[in-house]
Amino acid sequence: MDKKIFEMHAEICKVFTNPKRLEIISLLRDGEKTVNDLTELAGVPQANVSQHLTVLRQNNVVTTRRNGANIYYKIANPKILQACDLMREVLLEKLAENEELVKRML
């Protein structure tokens, strides 16, 4: 029944399992950027940025707009950022917990 939804959900989540893609998403947080912008900001080879952008585009995480030779990428749905933020919070809370644990052991 819901199985199909779980499969699609899992598929989408694969987009977020690569650190470079997460960095790109983060870089797009406050507005659209060109491939070149992203390449420089992330410090990753252009071809690789492009490969990741393809994945993001195919999964409707970003949308594009062409302006001359440049292509601007932006986040398609703000809820995606919210979801990323929540996961990051979970992560940071866990890190904080572990830090306390370490402190208590000294």
Partner DNA sequence: AGGAAAGATTCATATATACGAATATTCATA
Partner DNA sequence: TATGAATATTCGTATATATGAATCTTTCCT
Site residues, a second copy (CB under 8 A) = 2-3, 5-14, 16-23, 26, 60, 77, 79-80, 82-84, 86-91, 93-95
- Rounded to the nearest angstrom, the gap between the alpha carbon of residue 75 and the centroid of all alpha carbons in its chain is 9
* Choices 24-32, 52-60, 82-90, 94-102; region in contact with DNA by CB under 7 A: 52-60
Computed over its alpha carbons, how large is the radius of gyration of the chain? 17
| Shortest Cβ 51–DNA spacing (Å) | 5
Nearer to a second copy, 16 or 72 (CB): 16
Select from 8, 65, 70, 86 the one that contacts DNA (CB under 7 A). 70
Separation of alpha carbons 71 and 65, rounded Å: 6
In order, the DSSP letters of 74-90 are EES-HHHHHHHHHHHHH
| Shortest Cβ 24–DNA spacing (Å) | 10
- Quote the DSSP letter at residue 3: H
